[in-house]
Structure 1
Amino acid sequence: MRVLAAMSGGVDSAVAAARMAEAGHEVVGVHLALSRNPQSYRSGARGCCTLEDSRDARRAADVIGIPFYIWDLAERFHEDVVQNFVDEYAAGRTPNPCLRCNEKVKFSAVLDRALALDFDAVVTGHYAQIVETAAGRELHRAVDHDKDQSYVLGVLTQEQLARAFFPLGDTPKAEVRAEAERRGLAVADKPDSHDICFVADGNTPDFLSERLGPNPGDIVDSAGVKLGEHEGTHRYTVGQRKGLRIGTPAADGKPRFVLDISPVDRTVTVGSREELAVRRLSASQPRWCGPVPEATISCRAQLRAHGDEVAVTARLDGDKVLVDFDEPADAVAPGQAVVLYDGTRVIGSATIDSVERATQTV
C-alpha cells in the first residue's frame, strides 16, 4: 500500500511512519508548514509548526529511509483553524482548534491531496484505534487512556477512516519513546507539544486581544447585578474560575464561575458552582464515524479534550443532536464538541450550540 505519513517533527508521528515502512508499505513522509511565519509560532517543547520541527521531521525520515517533502498549508490553516478560533471567541463560544485542524486540514486538505497523488491512505501519530468490522471501520479509544486522542478525531467520517491509519493506538506512550530510541530516532526524548500551537507564548487572552481589540463590559451575577468590569468577553470561557478579578465577594464566600458570555451586550455572567450544572444541550453540525443513529440512544459523552465521560441519552432532532445528562454536568461550553461513545467506540460528534441549566425553570 502507498501511504502518506504526516510527520510533525515529534516522536509519535516518527514512530508511526517507521512502523508503516517496516510493515512493507511504500511510505512517503510529509511535514505540514502551517505558519505564515514559522518563527512567530512556538519553538522547542512549547508547541509545533516551527522550523525546528520541520528539521526534526526530515532527520527522522532520513533515519527511516523514506522520501520526505514539506507541504505549505499555511493559508488553509489560517483560514480554517486560526481565523475560526478568533471568530468563535468573538461570538462568545469556546472552540477546539485541534479538532478543527483534524477536520479541515489533516483529514480534508491533506487526505484529498494524497488521494489526488495516488496515495492509498494517510498515517498519523494520533493515539486512537481503528477496528475492522463487517460493517466497516470503527474508531476506538487508544489503549493508553491518558494519551487518547479519539475526542479530537470524532469529526472523521467513515469515508475518511477508510483511508486512515493510527499505528500507535495499541501502544502506551512510554513504549513508543523506547521504540524510537531503539530505532535511532533523535526525537525519542523530545517533549510533547501542548496548548495551542499557533499562540506564540501560550497567552490566549492576549493573542485574542491583539486581533479583536479592546471590548470592555460588565461582569454581572445571575440576577443581573453588576459586580465588576472586564476588558473583553474573549478573555473568558464558561466554567472559568480564576482571573475574574471581581472586587465584590460572594455572599456565601464561595468562588464564582463564568456561567454565560454575551458579546452582543459585552456581558459576562458569573455564579456559583451549582448554577454551572447543565441537564441538557443542543448541538449542530453532526459528524458520524459510522452509521447515523436511527433512534434515541443511551451512551457516554465526552465534553472536553481531557474531560471524563458522562452518561447521556442522545437523539437526532432534524439537523440537531439533543443530549440529556443522566446526572447534571459542569462547565459545558458552547463551541466545544460533544463526542458520543459506545464503550470505546466513537459514535460521532457535534458542536455544542446551547445548554439548559439544571437550575432553570422548566
Structure 2
Amino acid sequence: MAAPGVIVGMSGGVDSSVAALRLRDAGEPIAGLFMDNWADDGSGHCRADEDRRDAVAVCGRLGIPIHFRDFSQEYWAGVFEHFLADYAVGRTPNPDVLCNREIKFKHFLDAARELGAARIATGHYARVDHDGRHWRLLRAADRSKDQSYFLHQLGQEQLAATLFPLGGLQKDAVRGMAAAAGLPTAAKKDSTGICFVGERDFREFLGQYLPARAGEIRTPDGQVVGGHQGVFYYTLGQREGLHIGGRRGFADRPWYVVGKDVAGNVLTVDQGHDSPWLMSQALRSETAHWIAGAPPSTVFRCTAQTRYRQQEEPCEVTVDDSGTLRVAFERPQRAVTPGQSVVLYDGEACLGGAVIATTDAPAGTRGVPA
C-alpha cells in the first residue's frame, strides 16, 4: 500500500471525522492516527476508550486505515508537569496551547512523517495561507468556533505541513456533512474543559497533586469573609465555589476572586462582576512566539485576546530586548490572568502571542514569577 500523503489526527469527535471525510472526498490519499495522550488513571472519567472506538468506526466507515500512537509520557513531561508547576505558584495555565505545540504539531507531526506522509490535518477551526513570504495562521470562517487562539504557538514549519479542512465551514454545516455521510460521530457532543480532568470535580482532581492548604478569604481592605482550601484552586474572576453567602455590612451581590497572594496564602474577593480590583489596563508577558519568526516591529498596534472567545481589544505592543511584551489596552480589561495567553491579531491573521506574566490590576496574583 502506498504511503498516505496526509495523516489526519482522529480524536473520535465530529470535527476530525469531517476533516477526514473532506480530504477523502477531495481525492487525497489519507490515513487516520489516534493519539493516546493521557494514561487512564482508573477514575472512570477518561473518555479515551470511547473516543478510540469512535475513531476506529469513522475510519472504517470512510474506508481509510488508522494508526495508533501513545504520547502519554510526552504529554506528562511536555504539558502536565508545566500545568502543575503553574498552578502551584498561583497561575492559571492553558494546557490546550501547550498540547498543540508539544504534542499535536510536534510528536504527531513526527509520527506522520515516519509513516511517510508529508502533511497532517486536524479538525481545528482555523485557516492557513501563504502571503508570498510567510505562512499565515488565519481565523476560521465560523468566528464562534475559531481556535486560532490555541494555535498561536505554531511556526512556519508546522503551518507549511498542516491542513485545516474545516477552516472555511460553519459548525452546523460540519454536523450536517457528518450526518449525510452516516458517520457515527455526527451527533456526538463536543468535548469541553481540560481533557485529562474529564467530567470530575476540578478541585478534587487538582488536590491529588497539590495538597490543600487552608487560608483566609479577605476583602481588598483586609476584612476576613471566609476561608479557602488553597489559593491555587481559584482563578481571577471566579464566582463559583467561594461559599461566602450573605454577610452583615455588605450588599447582597455576588463575590468574585480579584487577587491571589500565594506566599501569604490569602484569597482576595470583591463584590460585583466588574469590580475595579479585577480591571487592568496593561500586562507584561513572558518571551513571545511569532508565527512569522519575528515581530512586525518593536512597537506596533494590533488587537489582542487574553482569553478564548473573548472579544478582541485594540492595544499597543512593545517588544522588549529580551523578547517579552508590554501590552497596553485601549480600555481596561477584566480578569487578565497570569498563566493564560495574550494572543495578537492583525485583522484575520494571528501574529503570535505569549504567556501573561503580570498585570497592573490592583490585587492580581502576588508571588507569581514575572
Fold conserved between structures, TM > 0.5: yes
**C-alpha displacement of 1:358:** 7.0
Q: What does residue range 143-158 of structure 1 map to in structure 2 within 5 Å?
A: 143-158=141-156
Alignment gaps of 5+ in structure 2: 365-370
1:338 alignment partner AA: V
| 1:20 and 2:19 matched | no
Most deviating of 242-251 and 208-217? 242-251
Matches of 1:25 and 1:250, distance apart in 2: 68
Matches of 1:184 and 1:90, distance apart in 2: 46
Aligned residues: 355
Counterpart pick for 1:286 among 268, 285, 288 = 288
Check conservation: 1:158, 1:288, Cα contact below 8 A.
Answer: no
Matches of 2:190 and 2:44, distance apart in 1: 16
Matches of 1:59 and 1:38, distance apart in 2: 25
Matches of 1:225 and 1:4, distance apart in 2: 58
Check conservation: 1:42, 1:197, Cα contact below 8 A.
Answer: no
Most deviating of 20-29 and 228-237? 20-29
**C-alpha displacement of 1:78:** 2.2
Check conservation: 1:155, 1:287, Cα contact below 8 A.
Answer: yes
Matches of 2:61 and 2:289, distance apart in 1: 38
Matches of 2:14 and 2:244, distance apart in 1: 43
**C-alpha displacement of 1:217:** 1.2
Q: Report the equivalent of 1:46.
A: none
| 1:265 and 2:255 matched | no
1:303 alignment partner AA: T
Q: 3-state DSSP class of the match of 2:288?
A: strand
Check conservation: 2:260, 2:363, Cα contact below 8 A.
Answer: no
2:174 alignment partner AA: V
Matches of 2:331 and 2:249, distance apart in 1: 26
2:315 alignment partner AA: V
**C-alpha displacement of 1:249:** 5.5
What TM-score results when the alignment is normalised by the length of structure 2?
0.90
Q: Report the equivalent of 1:244.
A: 242
Q: Report the equivalent of 1:309.
A: 312
Most deviating of 68-77 and 283-292? 283-292
Matches of 1:356 and 1:92, distance apart in 2: 16
Q: What does residue range 1-80 of structure 1 map to in structure 2 within 5 Å?
A: 2-37=5-40, 40=43, 42=45, 49-80=47-78
1:222 alignment partner AA: P
Q: What does residue range 215-226 of structure 1 map to in structure 2 within 5 Å?
A: 215-226=213-224
**C-alpha displacement of 1:165:** 0.7
Q: 1:29 to 1:165 in 2, by over 3 A?
A: same
1:297 alignment partner AA: F
Deviation per residue, 1:259-290 (Å, 9 max, x gap): 22222221112235112110110011312122
Most deviating of 164-173 and 74-83? 74-83
Deviation per residue, 1:234-258 (Å, 9 max, x gap): 2210111232223646645543322
Matches of 1:41 and 1:321, distance apart in 2: 42
Q: Report the equivalent of 1:256.
A: 255
What TM-score results when the alignment is normalised by the length of structure 1?
0.92
| 1:325 and 2:323 matched | no
Q: Report the equivalent of 1:228.
A: 226
**C-alpha displacement of 1:41:** 5.8
**C-alpha displacement of 1:225:** 3.6
Counterpart pick for 1:198 among 162, 171, 196 = 196
CA RMSD, aligned part only? Answer: 2.0
Alignment gaps of 5+ in structure 1: 44-48
Deviation per residue, 1:190-223 (Å, 9 max, x gap): 1111111111434111111122112111222223
Structure with higher helix content: 1
Q: What does residue range 77-226 of structure 1 map to in structure 2 within 5 Å?
A: 77-226=75-224
Matches of 2:306 and 2:250, distance apart in 1: 31
